[in-house]
Amino acid sequence: MKTPTASPLYYIGLMSGTSLDGIDAALIAIEGDSPPNLLATHAEPMPDELHRLLFKLCHAEQVSFAQLAAAEHAFCQCQAQAVQHLLAPLSVGVEQISAIGSHGQTIEHAPAGHDSGPGYTLQLDNPSLLAELTGCTVVADFRRRDLAAGGQAAPLAPAFHQALFGRADAHQLVLNLGGFANLTWLSSQSSDPVIGFDTGPANVLLDGWFALHQGGRFDQNGDWAASGKVDETLLVRLLSEPFFQQPPPRSTGRELFHLDWLQQHLSGQETATDVQATLAELTAVSVAQGIEQLRIDNGPLTLITAGGGAHNTYLMQRLAYHLPLATLTSPVAYGWPEDWIEAGAFAWLAHQRLHHLPGNLPSVTGAQGPRVLGGIYAP
């Protein structure tokens, strides 16, 4: 007699990264102990006014409660639209969604604190309103539980990478190229800890410099960067930032790497295109240095590349140059296109929360132990 198979559980993950280009919505199905299955995706563009407001909040020295409330409200409405547009063409209704996992929009991330103050991480979100607008249970505020346990609160995706890409017959190395770049090392030995950490900036500086000089949101395929030349002197100055020498666990954000930080390292003699090429080189070199910090075997290496930066042809060429023994491969082979892993991660984290399972990895974040992450907001 066959054991009855449990019906799949459906979750939606919502992710808006430091690039501020939109809200990614991913619908996943989880069935038993099988890896999560990606069913559908939708990219909800960030309205220009909301983009400007969020960007201003990320760089403001002083913020009013009225500004925060206005941004939260508009952001939450955009999230609800993402959910509506994701489900509209499908046969899955909101009543079938176990939960929405909402990451929120990171405004500032300072796990070490400032001026001897406590560490903090702020994700702008309104899960109560999102539950009201969508009629779904919402799980949110994932990061602060890890922070409370002494962790960095980031990166959180490596736990999902383990569920998705972990194999008993091969080591796996995952690189996410979002606003910031982070690595996940998955050993084939289950007794070995997962290692994951931020290597430094990726799209955050590339997009910011491009917007300043070209007026668009991002450098398509890295074509503008490819038209420039790497300024080796500038690259050395950028790599002198102490963050790049810190051992894991480590994480970073806009509070460190931003255009003012870049301007402080410029001599004024560089061309705009050469700076863009050098920023791409900074990402490629810092990723290569991060892999060196892992102290793994120097033999052939498979690197699964994800995130928006995986579409930057020039950046990928520079990565290949600095990692001659690595084979750069797409996560599409696992059923997960490059752009949807982070949104999928927060759908999976919502599942973890509802089932009272840990969502962090202490070996990655430095937390005192595994913790169940997020708060639950019923519709």
Which residues does the annotation place in the binding site for ATP?
17-24
- The answer to whether the CB of 11 falls within 8 A of the CB of 97 is yes
Beta bridge partners of 14: 25, 102
- The answer to whether the CB of 364 falls within 8 A of the CB of 146 is no
Residues in the chain, total: 379
- The answer to whether the CB of 297 falls within 8 A of the CB of 166 is no
Beta bridge partners of 29: 10, 37
* Tokens at 35, concatenated: 């890896």
Q: Give the 3-state secondary structure percentages of the chain, helix then strand then coil, rounded to 5.
A: 40, 20, 35
Cα distance between residue 20 and residue 344, in whole Å:
18
Strand pairing of 97-110 and 138-140? Answer: parallel
Binding site residues, as ranges? 17-24
Residue 115 φ/ψ, nearest 5 degrees:
50, 50
* Strand ranges in the chain using DSSP code E only, listed in sequence order: 9-16, 22-30, 37-45, 97-110, 120-124, 138-140, 172-177, 180-186, 195-201, 301-306, 326-329, 375-377
Cα distance between residue 153 and residue 164, in whole Å:
20
Helices (H) and strands (E) in the chain, counts: 13, 12
DSSP annotation of 115: T
Quickly tell me which residue has 């176990």 as its tokens: 98
* Tokens at 312, concatenated: 């930057």
Quickly tell me which residue has 């490059």 as its tokens: 338
